[in-house]
């Protein structure tokens, strides 16, 4: 039986109770130390880590490059478990201290963009790609983009935290969030039963946003929960997840700003296409 918890009249921060993330979770914002961010040679400077939220942007940039767009970029690793998101340089471009954050240096003044949905829309509009310019098709893509931003916290901060990261396992929150994730997987499976891609008949920023969370989950690359969630119950979602992973730009984008996994999945910083090529060449045949 779970321990009974009675909230105190006034909450106080217990730095020892946060499990894996205790060292970086805190109830205040702002910088903890002074550090200038590195800057590469390209107009687009990405500061991120290869978590699902970080993968969205590197996959987007690689998809733009695959389309022939002039979207060259530098991607700099921000190690969030070491608190690098609280440096003065990072806080200057994202006061919320969350990855990813992008700076576009193409104009007269540097333009910082934060929140992954905002970055995806910014890049789609900058390059006129992967998001219809107007009308019903644009609305459908944005519907699913914003669905992801309402749904993913239940997967990451809810299910993922209590199933994989919490210092103790408790039945109630795991059951609560598992039920919601199963419902979300069913929503996606039913949508993909009627459509090749998330928002219809064309690959878009909706697919790019949703795949790093739900595609990785279904394919066993997130939380190792395939058996627990019975992912075989979602054949249309499985089809889409595998087809998306097979895209060359997805294979390239998913390995950037990572220092975990197999050697061919790890590229800490990206400054050119050749950086990715060298890492992917290590993949076993």
| Model pLDDT for residues 51-92, shown as the tens digit of each residue | 999 999 999 999 999 999 999 999 999 999 999 999 999 999
Q: How many CB atoms sit inside 10 A of residue 70's CB?
A: 11
With contact defined as beta carbons under 8 Å apart, do 38 and 76 qualify? yes
Residue 14's pLDDT is what? 82
DSSP symbols for 23-63: TT--SS-S-SB--PPP--SSSEEEEE-SSHHHHHHHHHHHH
**pLDDT > 80? residue 155:** yes
The whole-number average pLDDT for the span 33-58 is 98
Sorting pLDDT into bands at 50, 70 and 90, what band is 15?
A: confident
Closest CA to 60 of 254, 280, 199, 260: 254
Domains of the chain by range and CATH? 15-130+255-285 (3.40.30.10), 135-246 (1.20.1050.10)
Closest CA to 254 of 62, 111, 94, 8: 62
Residue 1's pLDDT is what? 55
Per-residue pLDDT tens digits for 185-202 = 999 999 999 999 999 999
As a whole number of angstroms, the distance between CA 189 and CA 187 comes to 6
Sorting pLDDT into bands at 50, 70 and 90, what band is 17?
A: low
Residue 5's pLDDT is what? 86
The whole-number average pLDDT for the span 21-31 is 85
**pLDDT > 90? residue 129:** yes
Pull the structure tokens for residue 105.
């240096």
| Half-sphere exposure (Cβ direction) of 9: Cα atoms closer than 13 Å | 0
Residue 4's pLDDT is what? 82
Sorting pLDDT into bands at 50, 70 and 90, what band is 2?
A: low
Per-residue pLDDT tens digits for 84-95 = 999 999 999 999
In percent, the amount of the chain with pLDDT more than 70 equals 96
The whole-number average pLDDT for the span 138-157 is 98
The whole-number average pLDDT for the span 134-149 is 98
Per-residue pLDDT tens digits for 206-238 = 999 999 999 999 999 999 999 999 999 999 999
Give the CA diameter of the chain. 61
Residue 74's pLDDT is what? 98
Pull the structure tokens for residue 236.
């249309």
Angle of helix 52-66 relative to helix 116-127, nearest 10 degrees, comes to: 10
Residue 24's pLDDT is what? 80
The whole-number average pLDDT for the span 126-148 is 98
Beta-strand pair 73-77/101-104 = unpaired
């Amino acid at each position: 039986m779970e321990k009974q918890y009675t909230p105190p009249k006034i909450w106080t921060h217990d730095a020892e109770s946060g499990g894996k993330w205790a060292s970086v979770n805190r109830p205040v914002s702002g910088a903890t130390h002074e550090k200038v961010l590195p800057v590469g040679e390209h107009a687009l400077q990405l500061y991120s880590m290869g978590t699902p939220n970080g993968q969205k942007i590197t996959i987007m940039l690689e998809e733009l490059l695959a389309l022939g767009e002039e979207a060259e970029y530098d991607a700099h690793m921000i190690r969030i478990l070491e608190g690098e998101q609280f440096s003065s340089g990072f806080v200057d471009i994202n006061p919320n201290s969350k990855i990813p954050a992008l700076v576009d240096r193409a104009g007269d003044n540097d333009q910082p963009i934060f929140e992954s949905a905002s970055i995806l829309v910014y890049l789609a509009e900058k390059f006129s790609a992967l998001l219809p310019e107007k009308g019903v098709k644009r609305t459908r893509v944005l519907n699913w983009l914003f669905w992801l931003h309402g749904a993913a916290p239940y997967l990451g901060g809810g299910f993922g935290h209590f199933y994989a990261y919490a210092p103790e396992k408790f039945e109630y929150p795991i059951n609560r969030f598992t039920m919601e994730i199963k419902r979300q997987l069913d929503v996606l499976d039913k949508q993909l039963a009627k459509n090749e891609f998330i928002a219809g008949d064309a690959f878009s920023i909706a697919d790019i946003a949703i795949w790093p969370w739900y595609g990785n989950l279904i394919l066993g690359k997130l939380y190792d929960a395939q058996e627990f969630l019975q992912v075989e119950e979602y054949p249309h979602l499985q089809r889409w997840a595998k087809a998306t992973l097979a895209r060359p730009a997805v294979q390239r984008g998913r390995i950037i700003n990572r220092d975990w996994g197999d050697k061919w999945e790890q590229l800490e910083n990206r400054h050119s296409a050749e950086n990715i090529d060298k890492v992917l060449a290590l993949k076993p045949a």
